Amino acid sequence: MTELRESATAPVGAGRPRPRGAGTAVLLGAALLTVVLGLRLIDAQSVGWLNNILLIGSGLLLEAVPFLLLGAAVAAAIEVYVPQSWFLRFGRVPRGVQMAAASFGGFLFPVCECGSVPVARRLLVNGLTPGAALTFMLAAPVVNPVVILSTWFAFRGQPQEVFIVVGRIVLGIVVALVVGALLAKRFERLAFGRGAGERIGGESRTAAPDGESVSGGRDRLGRYFEHLGSEFFSMLKFMLIGATIAAVIQTFVPQNAMNTVSSTALIAIPAMMLFAYLLSLCSESDAILISSFTQFSPVAQLAFLVFGPMLDLKLTALYTGAFGRRMARVLVIAITGTVLILCLWIEAVWGLMR
């Protein structure tokens, strides 16, 4: 995005307009605050649905924003402190090795789905191959110590405890590798173009001989906070939109709607994927919720736990903001198809083993 490129070359102290992402986020936040204050002045009973939307939306934001900030902090650290030559050298490693290493990147950068998007975008800008960056982005919210621990905590003592905990790790890695391999070349064509340099959504990085961005003599700490603010606000506006849509759907879709579809695997698995998409929960807390849905098979629960951290309402908005609409559509199709096919296959094998 152009504001990120400008921030990388403007001299210290130069008057610089606020990034457009920050302005949009402030406007959306102000609108939300206005609605909240308006509720204080009218009969709350007559707008109970609106009160519920605000409650759910603010809950999603409170849960997600810290992890979005963590992801932006990691992305800014990569931009400022990690020499680009490191990524270029890693880019010469065989693609299969890159993707295999990226699938375990969550242990190095333990971020949830909200934070993995800006980190993956920054890795791409710094020279990591598209397949490896996509693999990291999809696997990190599932394969990291915090999520693994929370999943075990939620399902401890249940008969499917080992199946869910191990299955979530293995299936998450497999899906990330498959989607990364399928979309690597397409992503490179869509995001970078031919002869355009390394670009994501109009963002580029100009590297100096020592591997650092051209900064006009600015100190690293100042550049770090500039990149942190740009990354955070550019993603926050899409987070606000996604959380609002998720809150609206959760308000008007009956909570017991899933009970009628839990008995048939061919319906239960896509239903749980849709449920995960609409709820837009954080990967570090979704296992707590889904462990109570005992009427669903373990494979259907697994579909929820793997699909949700890779694709939901807020992530759709984040993918669109980070990579553009065309790439977001491709990601939605690839992730949905891969998770659905693999989970149906696992359900068939699981049924034969019972």
Q: What is the mean pLDDT of the chain?
A: 76
Angle at Cα 134 formed by Cα 309 and Cα 125, nearest 5°?
125
- Amino acid occupying residue 190: L
- Evaluate whether 296 touches 272 at the Cβ level (below 8 Å): yes
Please, which pLDDT band fits residue 212 given cuts at 50, 70 and 90? very low
- Percent of all residues in the chain with a pLDDT value above 90, rounded to a whole number: 20
- Residue-wise pLDDT tens digits, 115-125: 788 888 878 87
- In order of 44, 100, 148, 213, 253, the CA distances from 52 in angstroms are 11, 43, 31, 46, 12
Q: What is the mean pLDDT of residues 78-103?
A: 78
Q: Give the start-end residues of each E strand in 55-181.
A: none
Helix or strand or coil: residue 217? coil
What's the mean pLDDT in 325-337? 93
pLDDT exceeds 80 at position 237:
no
Q: Is the pLDDT of residue 39 over 50?
A: yes
Binning pLDDT at 50, 70 and 90, where does residue 291 land? confident
* pLDDT of 194 over the 50 cut: no
Say what the pLDDT of residue 230 is.
Answer: 80
Above 90 in pLDDT, residue 304?
yes
Whole-number pLDDT of residue 25? 56
Residue 157: enclosing H or E segment and its boundaries? none
**Distance linking the first and last C-alpha atoms of the chain:** 52
61, 239 contact by CB (below 8 A): yes
Output 253 or 57, whichever has higher pLDDT: 57
Task: Give the mean pLDDT of 87-94.
Answer: 72
pLDDT at 171 over 70: yes
Domain boundaries, the chain: 2-353
**CA 102 to each of CA 67, 189, 281, 313: distance values in angstroms, whole numbers, following the listed order:** 20, 21, 23, 24
- Residue 198's pLDDT is 39
Q: Hunting for tokens 């008969």 — which residue is that?
A: 159
Q: What is the DSSP string of 6-30?
A: HHTTSPTT---PPPHHHHHHHHHHH
Q: Is 195 a residue whose pLDDT tops 60?
A: no
pLDDT band at 15 (very low <50, low <70, confident <90, very high): very low
Distance CA 80, CA 123 (A): 12
d(CA 287, CA 137): 20
More confident residue, 167 or 88: 167
| Of 43-47, 58-62, 107-111, 136-140, the least confident | 43-47
Looking at the predicted structure, is the pLDDT value of residue 43 above 80?
A: no
| E runs forming strands in the chain | 199-200, 203-204
**Burial category of 13 from C-beta neighbours within 10 Å (exposed 0-12, middle 13-18, buried 19 and up):** exposed
- CB neighbour class for 42 (10 Å; exposed up to 12, middle 13-18, buried from 19): exposed
Could you tell me the pTM of the whole model? 0.69
* 199 DSSP assignment: E
